[in-house]
């Protein structure tokens, strides 16, 4: 039994779970906005793969994840068809609540992975951390932009990008101390996921910076 | 007369007609949103060239079409100035209706072209088909995003991207069977354009997947 | 005293001032939309660096400005934290008014710089001028898209992109005449900034091209 590559298998399982959670967040938003089947697939795909793709465009990396592993596109399509059937029969709310935790896993995993990739390219620490944040959060940002919403990561006063940001610095720190890559990535991902989980459990909110009387809502 | 390159000439004429149809779709949406002259030109340009440009960014291809053939940018500018004068004097509705058919031509031509390009780069079939869909539809998607609308391709329950998707698979099939490129591209473009035309004629709608009672409109 | 590199210093000072003006425009819009601290930083960053980054993606140039000079990201972060404290205590309007002039400086400087870069790559004049316009204005465009607004550069009927466009042609002209680069860039930047300043002073508006009766507001 010793020969079974358990850790890579586990990692792939976590990655798949997190990607599905991201895709489902797109699916649910598309459903709320009453998009058609095409819109559902595109928005789910953007939520799942948009962050990593944007990071790769910025870092000028090819091939994209979904080009190298095109089977994921089929999996996404199958997920969308299945989810449309499932959502048709049930309520959305339980799905959304159930997705918070795999989504937090993805936040840690993808931000640590993105930061690690950028560090390996020799980019400055602050840029690498930023690339991790982009990887983990810009799928959701693109999802919200296409659905004509201000991205929730920018306005819900919950720590989300902030957790990825802190996790990224853990990775940079471990890298600077010469710790082994695996342990560092795990610590970074664990920090981001842990902080996000803590925020969910305690219903923590980012400090308000604008007093209500001064900020007016409409632009013009 | 045998020496006249009739087919390339015809192809260029079709391409120009379709590009103008795409640009006009942007122009009309910009007009509806009361954009100024700058906005009209940008939105028309996005609608006309945005899909192919996004595809080229994703495939890391340069130069863009409008860099290699910069005269098209002048043509776009002239079209916008002319159309602003024309629209000022007349109604929009007839223009929009008249544009449905050249737009369907563009859907077939650009999706087949994009798929062909991606296949030639050795990308997996599903990715190539997707690149065709991006080429043909994401100009309109960018147009709608800039105009602060949910992209109509994602919510009008009409087959548009779906036609490009099916046409793309015709191309992949012809390619796999070793058929000549010209015939395959023509068959793929014809399939996409034909299906779109059929959908327009029969007023066909994609099957509803969400029951009305469950999807609520507001996000929060 | 002759050895002091006064001109480069001055240029850097102007560039920093203009970048801060761009960032503040993002900050103010984020504040109006009641974004949280993450949203404020992202929107400010997009407004400051988005135009140049988009230009570099289109031209396939790396590294980005903010990768090569990562200290600017720290400066942006500091600016955002400081501005959130400042805005909390005071009104927005004076800040916005005060920013019009450094913003006009940035319009000239960044459009001339972008055009010059694209010309140096051997791109056609119209493309180079367009790249200048993208550099100077698409930070604001991305800022507005993320904030779920139609970009103000496309609808406020004020000459903004138009000034950058005209300035770009001054640069192309100087280049064609073989004038020295420094003088040409200065003339181009001065033209764009000057025209913008003139438009601000005279409250000039672009000619209306649509008659009110015909354009209806909602799309559907």
The burial class, CB within 10 Å (0-12 / 13-18 / 19+), for C36 is: buried
Interface touch B87/C214, C-beta < 8 Å: yes
- Residue C12, Cβ density class (10 Å: 0-12 exposed, 13-18 middle, ≥19 buried): exposed
Report pLDDT digits (tens) over B122-164: 999 999 999 999 999 999 999 999 999 999 999 999 999 999 9
Against chain C, the chains showing at least 3 CB pairs within 8 Å are A, B
Give the residue numbers in A contacting B (CB under 8 Å), as ranges: 29-40, 42-43, 53, 57, 60, 62, 64, 66-67, 70, 73-74, 84-85, 87-88, 90-92, 145-149, 152
Instruction: Please tell me which of the candidates C42, C60, C92 has its beta carbon nearest to residue A154.
Output: C42
Q: Which residues contact C184 (CB under 8 A, 6 or more apart)?
A: C116, C170, C171, C174, C175
pLDDT at A217: 41
For chain C, percent of residues with pLDDT exceeding 70: 90
| Assigned domain for A68 exists | yes
CA A47 – CA A69 distance, rounded (Å): 17
Low-confidence ranges of chain B (pLDDT < 70): 1-5, 7, 89-94, 210-220
Q: What is the helix (H) or strand (E) element at residue C146, kind and residue range? A: helix C125-146
Using the beta-carbon criterion (under 8 Å), do C154 and B74 form an inter-chain contact?
A: no
Q: Is C47 helix (H, G, I), strand (E, B) or coil?
A: helix
pLDDT tier for residue A212 given thresholds of 50, 70 and 90 = very low
**Distance between B35 CA and the closest CA of chain C, angstroms:** 4
In a domain, C118, yes or no: yes
pLDDT of amino acid C210:
63
Could you list the residue range(s) of the whole structural domain that residue C59 is in?
Answer: 6-202
Beta strands, E only, chain A: none
pLDDT of residue B208: 77
Q: Are C193 and C105 in contact (CB under 8 A)?
A: yes
Return the closest-CA partner of residue C198 out of C93, C95, C108: C108
What whole-number distance in Å separates Cα of residue B72 and Cα of residue B111?
A: 20
ipTM for the whole complex: 0.90
CB atoms within 10 A of CB B28: 23
Choice between C31 and B128, residue whose per-residue pLDDT is larger: B128
The DSSP call for residue C155 is T
Q: Out of B123, B148, B154, whose CB is closest to A35?
A: B154
Question: Residue B154: what pLDDT?
Answer: 96
Nearest to C210 among B62, B87, B145 (CB): B87
Lowest mean pLDDT among A11-15, C63-67, C105-109, C110-114: A11-15
Assigned domain for A77 exists: yes
Distance CA C151, CA C154 (A): 6
Q: Which residues on chain B are in Cβ contact (under 8 Å) with C148?
A: 148
Among candidate residues C101, C127, C100, C99, the one with its CA nearest the CA of residue C114:
C127
Residue A217 domain-assigned (yes or no): no
* For chain A, counts of helices (H) and of strands (E): 8, 0
In a domain, B218, yes or no: no
Contact C154 B35 (CB under 8 A): yes
Residue C1 has pLDDT above 70, yes or no: no
pLDDT 10s digits, C142-197:
999 999 999 999 999 999 999 999 999 999 999 999 999 889 999 999 999 999 99
Report the domain count for chain A.
Answer: 1
Number of other CB atoms surrounding residue B208 within 10 Å:
12
How much is the pLDDT for C218?
A: 39
Is the CB of residue C135 less than 8 Å from the CB of residue C114? yes
Residues whose CB falls within 8 Å of the CB of residue B77, separated by 6 or more in sequence, listed in order: B41
Nearest-Cα distance to chain B for A175, in Å, is 31
Q: Is residue C183 classed exposed, middle or buried when 0-12, 13-18 and 19+ CB atoms within 10 A define those classes?
A: exposed
CB contacts of C209 in chain B (<8 Å) are 36-37, 40, 84-85, 87-88
Q: Do the Cβ atoms of C33 and A127 come within 8 Å?
A: no
Instruction: For residue B214, tell me if it sits in a domain.
Output: no
Distances in Å between the Cα of B182 and the Cα atoms of A39, B126, B169, B188, C197 are 32, 21, 15, 10, 55
Chains touching chain A through at least 3 C-beta pairs below 8 angstroms are: B, C
The number of helices, as runs of H, and strands, as runs of E, in chain B is 8, 0
What does the pLDDT average to over A68-84? 93
Dihedral in degrees, nearest 10, Cα atoms C40, C41, C42, C48: 110
User: Quick check: B211 and A29 CB within 8 A?
Assistant: no
CB hemisphere CA count around C185 (13 angstroms):
17
Is residue B209 one of the residues assigned to a domain?
Answer: no
Residue of C nearest to B73 (CA): C126
Please judge whether A148 and B150 are an interchain contact, meaning their C-beta atoms are less than 8 angstroms apart.
yes
Determine, yes or no, domain membership for B48: yes
């Amino acid at each position: 039994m010793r020969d079974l590559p358990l850790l890579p298998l586990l990692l792939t399982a976590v990655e798949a779970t997190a990607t599905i959670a991201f895709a489902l967040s797109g699916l649910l938003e598309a459903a709320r906005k009453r998009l058609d089947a095409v819109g559902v697939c595109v928005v789910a795909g953007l939520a799942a793969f948009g962050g990593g793709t944007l990071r790769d465009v910025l870092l000028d990396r090819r091939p994209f994840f979904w080009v190298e592993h095109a089977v994921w596109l089929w999996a996404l399509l199958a997920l969308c068809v299945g989810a449309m059937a499932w959502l048709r029969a049930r309520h959305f709310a339980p799905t959304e609540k159930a997705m918070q935790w795999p989504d937090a896993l993805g936040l840690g995993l993808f931000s640590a992975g993105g930061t690690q990739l950028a560090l390996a390219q020799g980019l400055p620490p602050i840029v690498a951390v930023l690339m991790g944040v982009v990887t983990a959060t810009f799928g959701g940002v693109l999802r919200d932009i296409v659905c004509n919403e201000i991205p929730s990561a920018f306005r819900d006063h919950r720590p989300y990008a902030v957790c990825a940001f802190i996790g990224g610095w853990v990775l940079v720190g471990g890298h600077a101390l010469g710790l082994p890559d695996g342990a560092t990535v795990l610590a970074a991902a664990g920090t981001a996921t842990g902080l996000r989980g803590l925020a969910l459990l305690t219903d923590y909110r980012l400090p308000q910076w604008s007093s209500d009387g001064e900020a007016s809502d409409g632009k013009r």
